Amino acid sequence: MKRILFICLGNICRSPVAEGVMKKLTETHPGLFHIESRGTNRWHKGEGADPRAVASAERAGVNIQSHIAKRLTLQDFEAFDLLYYMAADVFDEILELNPSRQQLAKCVNFLDAVEDRVGEDVPDPYYGGRKEFDETYGIIVEGCQAILEDALRSQTQSSIADSEST
């Protein structure tokens, strides 16, 4: 099982949307993925997802209403195989946790899986309105689809290698 964590600043906009989208995309692959999200700061810990993010996701058939914001901890680096951060400022805050090199190696820019978006940030819609939340939602879908394709491709390659070694 591949354990994936999505990380943004407050865990109320981008990362819970990514968690919800990825859970929806992986419904047809039961048991292959465990998906969660976190925020790098405590601003919204214990709160639900931003209502604008909830509405944007719902318009696309993704339900994130039950999401409760959680803060990233060093233990998360051990619990997850891949940690996808939404933007450079999020990565800067990850560095403040002082993870080991091995832990840091699990961190990947969310949009690096999208060929023509490598190194880009997922825009933070928090100070925007419906338009910004919907645009961010679309970018997150694009990233999640690419991440899923990569994960399934590596799963297939791993299965082939395992069968060839027996």
Domain ranges, ordered by start, for the chain:
2-164
> What is 2-164's CATH topology?
Rossmann fold (3.40.50)
- Cα separation of 143 and 106, whole Å? 17
pLDDT one-digit tens code per residue, 90-139: 999 999 999 999 999 999 999 999 999 999 999 999 999 999 999 999 99
**Known active-site residue 134:** no
Where do the H-state alpha helices sit in the chain?
14-25, 51-59, 74-79, 88-96, 101-104, 130-164
**Known active-site residue 153:** no
Which one is catalytic: 13, 14, 52, 144?
14
Q: What is the mean pLDDT of the chain?
A: 94
**Known active-site residue 124:** yes
| pTM to 2 decimal places | 0.94
